[in-house]
Structure 1
Amino acid sequence: MNIADFESFLETVILERGHKLLKKGAVKNLQHLEENRVLASVHGSQTYSVEIFLEGDGVIKQASCSCPYDWSETCKHQAAVFFALREGAAVENQDVESSEKNLMHLLKQESKEELISIILQFARSHEEVERQLLLRYASPEDEITTAKALIRDYIKGAKSSGFIHWRRMDEAMQGAYMVLDNAEKKSERGNYVQAVKLALEIMPPIVSMTQYADDSGGEITIVTRNTMKVIKNAVEMGLDELSPDEQKEIFKAVQKEAKNKRYNGWDEWRFNLLDAIIPLGKEPKLRATLEKELDKLLENTPQNEWSRRHTEQSIKELQLSLLEVSGAEDSTIDGFIEENLRHDKFREKAIERSLERNEYEKAEQLCIDGEKQDTSYAGLIYKWKDYRYQVYEQQGDFERQRRLAHELVTRYYEYKDYERLKNLFSPEEWQEVFEKLLFELESGHSRGLYLTIITEEKLEDRILKYATAKPSSIVELYPYLIDHHLSEVNNLFVDMIMYDAEKASERRLYKQVCKDIRKYKKSASALFSPDKRWRA
C-alpha cells in the first residue's frame, strides 16, 4: 500500500470517516521524527496517537493507532493521517505542554469569582461542557440520574426516524463517553463503588442500540469494551481497600446486570461482566453465589453444537478463574483442566503448564492428542502444531524443529514459520533449502506467502516474473522494481490498462479502466522522478 493510492486498499466507510476527521482539523502535531517515521495525534471524542513507517517512494510499511478499533487492519484515524500526508494538509503543530502551562499561568492570575464567571460563560455557550460539569459535580444520589439522562439524550439526538446511521454513531456515543470518563476518574480517586455503578448505567442503552443502529464502524464494541475495562479495573484496584459491605454492593450490582434478559443472545457481554467480579470470589459467600450462577448458566447452554461448545468453554473458564481465586491446590486446578481438555483454551493451559514444569513428553502428547481431536478445525490443528514446535525448541531438538517448521510453512503459509525455518540453518545450508522451498511455494497454493518472501528478500527477478504473470500486481510491486527495471514497470502498467480496456463492455468495466489510469498517474511521481532519469 502506498500513500499515493491507499484508497484502493481501504473500506469506503473508513475512507469517508478519515477524510471527515481531516476536514474537521482533527489531525494535530504531525511530525516526521525520522527519515521513515511519522507520528501524529488525531482528536475526537478522545485523542489517539497514529504512527506510520514509510519505505521508498511513499510505501506504507507499517501503521498503527492507539485506538481499540479492531474490525479491520486500518482505522479512521490512520486514514485521516494518510490523507494529511498525501494532501500536504496544514495541521496544527504546537508544543501542547507549553500551551497548557501558558493557560495555567493566565488563569492563576484571575480571582475565584472571575474563574467561576469564565466557567459559567463557557458552559452556557457549550452544552457539552455544561453537561460534563453537571455530571462531575452532581451528588452521588443525582449522579446516576444525570448519567442516564446524558446517555439517552445523545442517543435520542442522533436518531432519525427511529434509526441511527453509522455517520452519526460518534455523536450518539458522546453521552456514554462522558459518563465513562467520569467513572474512570471516580476509580482513580478511590471511589470504586460509584465508578462501577456509573459504568453499569452505560450498558442498558448501548445494548439496546444494537436493535436500531448501524454499528459498522464498531463504536458499540469500543464503548462496551472500555466499560468492562473500567468495571474490572475498579474491582481489582479496590480489592484491598473495599470494605466487605462495599464488595458485596459491587458484586450484587454487577451480577444483577449480568442476569438481565437483555444479554440473552449477547453472552459475551454477560460473561465479561461476571469475569469482572471473579476477584471478589475470595469471599466464601460471594464465591458460593457465583458458583451457583455459573452452574445455572451451564445448564442452559444453547442447543447448536458450535454455540454450545463456545458457551460451555466460556463458563468453564470463569469457573477455573474462580477456582484459582479461591486458593485451590495446584492438583485441584490440574484436575479441573484435565476434565475439560475437549475445550481448546483448557488444552492450551495444560500445555503451557507442562512447558513451565519442563514436562516435555506430556506437553508433546497433549499437542498430538489435540491434533487428533480437532481434525475439523484447521486453526486449532495449527495451534497444536505450533505448540509442538515450542516443545521441540525448548528441548533443543533441531531435527524435529526443521521437519515441523517445513510442514508449517508449506501447509499453513505463515511468514513466522518461514523465519523459524531459516534460522535453523547456517547461511551455507540455507541456500539449497531456500531454493527448494521457493519452488514448492511458487507451484502450490501459497502465492501470498511466496510474494511476501520474495519482496522481503528483495528478489527482483522473481518479483518481475510474478508481476509479468499478473500485471495488476504492479500497483503494489513497482517500488521494488523501479531502481533496475523502469522500462518493464512502465510496460506492465500499460499492459494492465490495455488488458482491462480491451474487455470493457459496460460502464462498470470502463470505471475499472479509469481506476487503472489513476493508479498509473499516482505512481508516476516515482516512475518519472529526475533521479530515475526516465525518459518516456
Structure 2
Amino acid sequence: MDINNFEEYFDPVILERGKDYYYENKVDHIIQDINGEYKAVITGSDVYSVTARLNSEREIDELTCDCPYDWTDHCKHKAAILYKIRDLIENNGIIKQQENPNGANTQKSLQVILSTVDKDELIRIICDLSDQYPEIEKAIQFRYSVDENEVSQCKTLVTECINKEKYKGFISWSKVGPAVKGAELALERAVQRLEGGFYNQAIDISLVVMPPIVKMIDFSDDSGYISPILNEATEIIKESAQKVSEVESEQRQEELFKKIIKEAKNKRYDGWSEWRHELLKAAVAFCGIKKLRSLLEKLLEQLLENEEPDNWSSDYEIEELKVLQLMLIERFDTEEKAEAFMESNIRFKTFREKAILRALEKEDFTKALQLCEDGIVLNSRLPGLVDMWKRYRYKTCEQMGDIENQKVLARELLMNNNSDFYPIYKGLFPPAEWEREKESLLNELESKDFSSVYRHIIESESETSRILRYCQNHKIEIMNLYEHIIEDYPYEVSELFSSYIEYLSKEAGDRKKYQGVCKVIRKYKKACGSESAKLLIDHLKSQYQRRPAFLEELNKIK
C-alpha cells in the first residue's frame, strides 16, 4: 500500500467516513519519529490510537488502530490518519516529536500529567470539562454513584443516549457510537455485578439493555457498534444464568427463567433471531427443573411449527432450534437419546459434524467415513460443505493410519484449491519420491489453468522457471513474485514490469490510476534499479505529454 494511492485498499464507505474525520479535524496530536512512524489520537464517538509507518519509498509498512472494528481490513480511523499524513507530505509539513539529548521522548502521557496534579486541581479540571461536555458528568455519576434501583437507572441511561442522537427519527452512522454509549456503560455495570457474584442483577441489567438496542437497528445506520452490544449482553446473561442455576433457589431460578423467555418471545427478535437463540440458550441452564424444561421444549416446538420446510432461511432457523433441543437432551438425558436425536436430524450440518466427531472419538471409522460420504452427496451443490466433509474424510483416514487413502484425499483437496493441504500432502511422501510426485502434481495443476494452489506451490518450492511462466501469463503477479526470479531472470523481470507498466499507463485516465501506475514503477525501481526506472519514466513522459496530471505524478518518483 502506498500513501499516494491507499484509497484503493479501503471499502468506499469506510474511506468516505475516514475522509470526513480528516476534514473535521478529528486527527489530533499527530507526531512523527525519525523512522517514519506516525502516531495520532483520533477522536470520534470514542478516542482511539492509530499508528502508520512509512518506508523511504512512502509505502505503508504498518497500519494499526486499537478500535474494535473488524468487518474489513481497515477502519475509518486508519483512513483518516493516512489522509492527514499525505496532506503533510504534500505540503512539506514537519511534525517532529520533542526529544531530550539522550533521544528519549519527552512528551508526557495523560496518566503521567494527571498523576502530578493535586486533588483539588484535579476536581476543578473534571468539573470544568463536565460543564463543557455534559456526557462526562453523566458517565462519572453513573460509574461511581449507587442508585437504589440501578436497573431502572441503566434503562434510563440507555434510552437517553439513544434519543439524544436521533435526528428526525434516525441515527446516522457517525452518531451510532455515542448513541450506544449508555448501553456500554450499563453493560460495564452488569459485568461488575457478574464478577461480584450478584448474578441476578447482571441478568436484569442486560435484559433492559437489549430491547432499546434491538429496536435501534431499524432506525440507525450501524457502523459496527450494535451487534457487539447485543452479543455482550447475551454472553453476560448466559454466564450469569449458569451461575444462578448452581447457587439460587428453584423459585429464584423460575423468576429469571420467565424473564429471559419473555424477552426471547418478543416480536422484536423476528428477523434478528440469532439473539433470540442466545437468550434461549441461557434459559437451558434452568432446565434441571422439570417444569421449566417442559416450558422451554413447548416454546421450541411452537417456534419450529412456524417455520416452513425447504426454505433456505427457515432451514437455518430449524437447525438452530433443533440444536437447542439437542442441548437439552445432552445436558439432562442419556447419550443414547442424544445419538438418536442426532441421527434423526443428520441432514443438518451441525448434527452431521457432531456425529462424525463422536464416531471418531469411539474409533468407529466405518461410520465416520459413511457420514462423510453421505454428506458429500447430500450437499453436492454447496461447495463449502462438500469441502468440510472431505476434510473430515481425510481426518478419519489419518486417524486410521491409512496413508494410501490420505495421499488420494489430500491430492483431491489440493486440486480443489485447498493450498493448506500442500505441506500435509508433501509430508506423506519420503524425500526420494517427492520430486517425482511434485512434478506430476504441478503438471496436472498447469492443465487446470494455473489455479491459486499452483501459485502457492511454485512460490513455496522456488520453482523459478515455472514462476516466470506464471508471471508471463499473469503480468500483475510480477509485483508479488519478482524477488523469487530476479536473480535468475533479470532481463525477463524487467521486460515483464515494463510491459505491465505500459499497459497500465495506456488504460489510466485519472489521477488515481496515474498514482497506481507510479506505485508499480516504484516497485520496478526497487526490483531492477534506478537507471531502468529512469529510462522508463522518461519514455512515459515523452509518450504522454498531454497528460499533465500523469506527468505530475511521474515527477514525484524520486
TM (norm. structure 2) is: 0.78
Do structure 1's residue 197 and structure 2's residue 204 form an aligned pair? yes
Distance in 2 of aligned mates of 1:135 and 1:65: 28
Task: Please state how far the C-alpha of 1:28 moved relative to its aligned partner.
Answer: 9.9
Which amino acid is the alignment partner of residue 164 of structure 1? I
Counterpart Cα distance in 2 of 1:29 and 1:277: 51
1:145 Cα deviation from its structure 2 partner: 3.4
Q: Given that residues 29 and 92 in structure 1 are in contact (C-alpha distance below 8 angstroms), is that contact kept between their aligned partners in structure 2?
A: no
8 A contact 1:254–1:277 mirrored in 2: yes
Equivalent AA in structure 1 for residue 383 of structure 2: A
Once residues 11 and 169 of structure 2 are traced to their aligned partners in structure 1, the CA distance between those partners, rounded to angstroms, is 27
Equivalent-residue separation in structure 2 for 1:27 and 1:191 (angstroms): 42
Mapping of 1:5-16 within 5 angstroms?
Answer: 6-16=6-16
Aligned position for 1:176:
183
User: What residue in structure 2 maps to residue 528 of structure 1?
Assistant: 525
2:389 partner letter? W
Distance 1:27 1:396 in 2: 60
Q: Which moved more, 1:152-161 or 1:314-323?
A: 152-161
What letter matches 2:448 in structure 1? Answer: G
State yes or no: 1:265 paired with 2:305.
Answer: no
Q: Any conservation in 2 of the 1:28–1:43 contact (CA below 8 Å)? A: no
CA distance in 1, matches of 2:61, 2:419: 16
Match of 1:345 in 2: 350
Matches within 5 A, 1:223-238: 223-238=229-244
Q: CA deviation at 1:10?
A: 2.8
Alignment partner, residue 445 of structure 2: 441
Counterpart check, 1:364 vs 2:375: no
Change over 3 Å in CA distance of 1:413–1:53 after alignment to 2: farther
Q: Does the 8 A contact of 2:27 with 2:40 survive in 1?
A: no
Partners in 2 of 1:56 and 1:436 — Cα distance?
Answer: 44
User: Per-residue CA shift, 1:234-254, capped at 9, x if unaligned?
Assistant: 223444344434433332222
Q: Quote the offset at 1:301 in angstroms.
A: 1.2
For the 8 Å contact 2:501–2:520, the answer to whether it is kept is no
Q: CA 1:170 to 1:428, structure 2 compared with 1: closer, same or farther past 3 Å?
A: farther
1:73-110 deviations in Å (ceiling 9; x for gaps):
55556667888999898799999xx9688578657x74
1:419-472 CA deviation, whole Å, 9 max, x = no partner?
221221223322222222223323326633333333344444433333332333
Deviations 1:238-279 (Å, cap 9, x if unpaired)?
Answer: 443444344333322221111001111222221111112222
Shift of 1:415: 1.4
Q: Within 5 A, what are the aligned runs for 1:200-279? A: 200-215=207-222, 217-279=223-285
CA distance in 1, matches of 2:518, 2:96: 24
Q: Compared with structure 1, are the counterparts of its residues 27 and 434 closer, same or farther at alpha carbon in structure 2 (3 Å cutoff)?
A: farther
Change (3 A) 1:342 1:285: same
Structure 2: how far apart are the matches of 1:24 and 1:224? 28
Does 1:382 pair with 2:381? Answer: no
Moved more, 42-51 or 297-306: 42-51
What does residue 422 of structure 1 align with?
A: 426
Q: Report Cα offsets for 1:319-365 as digits up to 9, x if no partner.
A: 11122222x22112112111211111001001001111111111111
Once the two structures are superposed, residues 200-224 of structure 1 have per-residue CA deviations (whole angstroms, 9 ceiling, x without a partner) of 2232222223322223x33322222
**Counterpart-to-counterpart distance in 2, 1:92 and 1:344:** 59
Q: Which residue of 1 aligns with 2:296?
A: 290
Q: Which TM-score applies when normalising by structure 1? A: 0.80
Could you tell me which residue of structure 2 aligns to residue 320 of structure 1? 326
2:483·2:527 contact (CA, 8 Å) conserved in 1?
A: no
Contact 1:41 1:48 in 2 (8 A): yes
User: Hey, what's the Cα distance between the residues in 2 that align with 1:66 and 1:355?
Assistant: 41
The residue that corresponds to 1:149 in the other structure is 156
Q: Shift of residue 315 of structure 1?
A: 0.5
Distance in 1 between the 2:311 and 2:239 partners? 34
1:128 equivalenced with 2:156 (yes/no): no
Distance 2:251 2:199 in 1: 13
Q: Is the 8 A contact 1:496 1:516 kept in 2?
A: no
Q: Which amino acid aligns with 1:377?
A: L
How has the CA–CA distance of structure 1 residues 308 and 225 changed in structure 2, closer, same or farther, with 3 Å as cutoff? Answer: same
Superposed counterparts of 1:303-314, under 5 Å: 305-314=311-320
Gaps of 5+ in 2: 90-94, 535-558
Distance 1:208 1:74, change over 3 A: same
Identity of aligned residues (%): 36
Of 188-197 and 253-262, more deviation after overlay is shown by: 188-197
CA distance in 1, matches of 2:19, 2:96: 14
Q: 1:153 to 1:473 in 2, by over 3 A?
A: farther
| Separation in 1, partners of 2:528, 2:501 | 26
Q: Which amino acid is 1:293 matched to?
A: L
Match of 2:429, as an amino acid? F
Q: Deviations for 1:108-160, whole angstroms, at most 9, x for unmatched residues?
A: x748xx87666555533432222223333565554333333333333334334
> Structure 1 338/82 Cα, relative in aligned 2: closer, same or farther at 3 Å?
farther
Rounded Cα–Cα distance in structure 1 between residues aligned with 2:254 and 2:98: 49
Q: Distance in 2 between matches of 1:421 and 1:57?
A: 40
**Quick one: distance in 1 between partners of 2:39 and 2:327?**
40
Rounded to whole Å, the distance in 1 between the matches of 2:409 and 2:267 is 48
Q: 1:391 aligns with which of 388, 392, 396?
A: 396
1:517 is aligned to 2:527: no
2:542 aligns to what? none
Q: Which amino acid aligns with 1:14?
A: I
What is the distance in 2 between the residues matched to 1:187 and 1:213? 30
Q: Secondary structure, in 3 states, of the residue corresponding to 1:528?
A: helix
Summarize the Cα distance change of 1:123–1:391 in structure 2 as closer, same or farther, 3 Å threshold.
Answer: same
Give yes or no for contact 2:407–2:428 (8 Å, CA) kept in 1. Answer: yes
Q: How is 1:158-169 mapped onto 2 (pairs within 5 angstroms)?
A: 158-169=165-176
Q: Deviations over 1:16-46 (max 9, x none)?
A: 45677787458999999xx9x9999998767
How many angstroms apart in 2 are the aligned matches of 1:371 and 1:530?
47
Q: Measure, in 1, the Cα distance between the counterparts of 2:399 and 2:193.
A: 46
Secondary structure class of the residue paired with 1:510:
coil
Structure 1 346/277 Cα, relative in aligned 2: closer, same or farther at 3 Å? Answer: same
1:401 to 406, 424, 439: 406
- C-alpha contact 2:2 2:519 (8 A) present in aligned 1: no
In 1, Cα distance between the equivalents of 2:98 and 2:152? 39
Contact 1:40 1:81 (C-alpha < 8 Å) held by counterparts = yes
Q: How many residues align?
A: 518
Alpha-carbon RMSD: 4.3
Judged with a 3 Å threshold, the aligned counterparts in structure 2 of structure 1 residues 209 and 106 are, in CA distance, closer, same or farther, namely same
| Alpha-carbon separation, structure 1, partners of 2:33 and 2:200 | 42
Q: Which amino acid aligns with 2:359?
A: S
- Amino acid aligned to 1:71: W
In structure 1, distance between residues paired with 2:96 and 2:11: 25
Change (3 A) 1:286 1:392: same
User: Which segment drifts farther, 86-95 or 72-81?
Assistant: 86-95
Q: Give, in whole Å, the separation in 1 of the partners of 2:368 and 2:287.
A: 31
Kindly tell me: are residues 47 and 198 of structure 1, through their superposed partners in 2, closer, same or farther at Cα, counting changes over 3 Å?
farther
